[in-house]
């Protein structure tokens, strides 16, 4: 029996965790949850009371929130080299960027999608212009956010920026386009995409 079971719906944020599992390369199972109906079932409410995908079942313990799933996997399998060690230079930057997706990038783009502006002093994420400028500065002339190695932070940020570009919420311009362009060439990304295609039948 595999230790890892991913609750996932194709073409959703569940992809972050699917890609991460492919990067890890350990056996895992996928349970498809239809976000139109299955997600409202009592059974799924016990998996994630927020009724969102993804969720990762790790031998009975349930982890939700994509960055938490990615962080847990990177730390559980340190030999895969997807996170700086806890005492290594770069660990702080890695955590900063890992948290940046859920707490800063996502809400700022949702503001844009909803054509609204949250006053920046009230918004923990500041404003979209600052978010884009901060990311552009961090990515300018670099392949990865932390040092010269791909980490789970690149996966979360790259996957999120890719979503934003696909939904026309982020312009396909440098440095974002080049950064995402090289990440989607990774074999694990392609394996995750092949699974998505198979799920879609
Ligand atoms: N904060 C969550 C967000 C997950 C999320 O928003 N999932 C969406 C799919 S993209 C979902 O499950 N929606 C179903 C619903 O709200 O009914 C994470 O980062 O994992």
pLDDT tens figures, 49-84: 999 999 999 999 999 999 999 999 999 999 999 999
Cα distance between residue 174 and residue 26, in whole Å: 34
Q: Would you call the peptide bond into 54 cis, given omega within 30 degrees of 0 as the criterion?
A: yes
Q: What is the pLDDT of residue 1?
A: 54
Q: Which residues is 5 bridged to in the sheet? A: 29, 57
Please determine, for residue 2, whether its predicted confidence score (pLDDT) is greater than 80: no
Q: Which residues pair with 146 in a beta bridge?
A: none
Query: Span 141-158, mean pLDDT?
Result: 97
Q: Give the closest residue to 8 by CA, choosing from 63, 52, 67, 61.
A: 52
* 55 beta partners: 7, 64
C-alpha 190/C-alpha 49 separation (Å) is 31
Cα–Cα dist 53/51, whole Å: 7
Domains and CATH numbers, the chain: 4-81+188-200 (3.40.30.10), 91-186 (1.20.1050.10)
Mean pLDDT, residues 113-137? 97
**Which is the closest atom of ligand 1 to the Cα of 54?**
20
Residue of the nearest CA to atom 9 in ligand 1? 12
User: First vs last Cα of the chain: how many Å apart?
Assistant: 25
Q: What is the pLDDT of residue 201?
A: 76
- Rg of the chain over CA atoms, in angstroms? 17
Q: Does ligand 1 have an atom closer than 6 angstroms to the CB of 51?
A: yes
| pLDDT digits 0-9 by tens, 159-197 | 999 999 999 999 999 999 999 999 999 999 999 999 999
Q: Distance from the CA of 88 to the center of ligand 1, in angstroms?
A: 32
Ligand 1 atom showing the smallest separation from residue 102 Cα: 19
Query: How far, in Å, CA of 126 to CA of 7, rounded?
Result: 32
């Amino acid at each position: 029996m595999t230790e890892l079971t991913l609750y996932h719906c194709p073409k959703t944020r569940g992809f972050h965790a699917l890609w991460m599992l492919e990067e890890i390369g350990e056996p895992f199972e996928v349970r498809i949850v239809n976000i139109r109906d299955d997600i409202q079932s009592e059974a799924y409410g016990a998996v994630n009371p927020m009724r969102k995908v993804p969720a990762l079942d790790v031998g009975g313990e349930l982890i939700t929130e994509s960055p938490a799933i990615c962080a847990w996997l990177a730390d559980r399998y340190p030999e895969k080299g997807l996170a700086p060690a806890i005492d290594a230079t770069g660990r702080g930057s890695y955590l900063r960027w890992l948290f940046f997706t859920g707490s800063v990038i996502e809400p700022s783009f949702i503001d844009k999608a909803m054509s609204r502006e949250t006053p920046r002093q009230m918004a923990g994420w500041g404003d979209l212009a600052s978010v884009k400028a901060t990311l552009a500065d961090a990515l300018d002339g670099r392949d990865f956010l932390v040092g010269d190695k791909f980490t789970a932070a690149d996966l979360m940020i790259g996957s999120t920026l890719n979503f934003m570009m696909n939904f026309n919420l982020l312009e396909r311009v440098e440095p974002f386009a080049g950064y995402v362009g090289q990440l989607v060439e990774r074999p694990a990304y392609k394996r995750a995409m092949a699974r998505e295609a198979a799920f879609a039948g």
